[in-house]
Amino acid sequence: MLDLVLIEPDIPQNLGAVLRLVACIGGAVHVVEPCGFVLDDKKLKRAGMDYIARAEFHRHADWDAFLRHHAAHPGRLLLLETDGARPYSDEAFRPGDYLLLGRESHGTPRDYYLAMDEVLTIPMRPGERSLNVAMAAAIVLAEAMRQQGWKL
């Protein structure tokens, strides 16, 4: 199963939806701070409902703290961004991979790209900017599960 890494999220409802997704399907959610909201925000609790308590959830104070976690828990770093080099569907996902998703309002800082093993994208119609972070996470997680035989 993939671990989902939200880099400096700024929409609490998206984090709540991703926590709910992971509670139902498996994996873990990592949040690289700072966030654009307080993590105990009522909107977060509303979006994640009672699923939040059942999701594996890790907070990292900043990018360097996440990289220290990653060093102790290795796996490929797969960034999902609109400027990705390859479609996510061309990737052979492996257990232990981390799927990183950038900040909703600004994307992923360019210097973070240096740590990535791959930069993937979800193909979209010309002229469209991006998908909702939670929807993008669900699309790629579903493909990873399909490739691994839908095992939970």
Summarised one tens digit per residue, pLDDT across range 37-49 is 887 767 777 777 7
Q: What is the mean pLDDT of the chain?
A: 92
Angle at which helices 12-25 and 133-147 pack, to 10 degrees?
A: 20
Cα–Cα distances in Å, from 142 out to 10, 55, 72?
24, 17, 26
pLDDT tens digits, one per residue of 137-148: 999 999 999 998
- Residue at 4: amino acid letter: L
Give residue 152's pLDDT band: very low, low, confident or very high (50, 70, 90): low
pLDDT per residue as tens digits for the range 38-92: 877 677 777 777 888 889 999 999 999 999 999 999 999 999 999 999 999 999 9
Over pLDDT 90: what percentage of the chain?
Answer: 72
* Residue 119 near residue 79 (C-beta atoms within 8 A): yes
Those residues with Cβ within 8 angstroms of residue 140's Cβ, 6 or more apart along the chain or in another chain: 2, 80, 88, 99, 120, 122
The structure tokens listed for 71 are 């060093």
Contacts of 69 (CB under 8 A, 6+ apart): 30, 58, 60
Provide CB contacts within 8 A for 152, sequence distance 6+.
25, 26
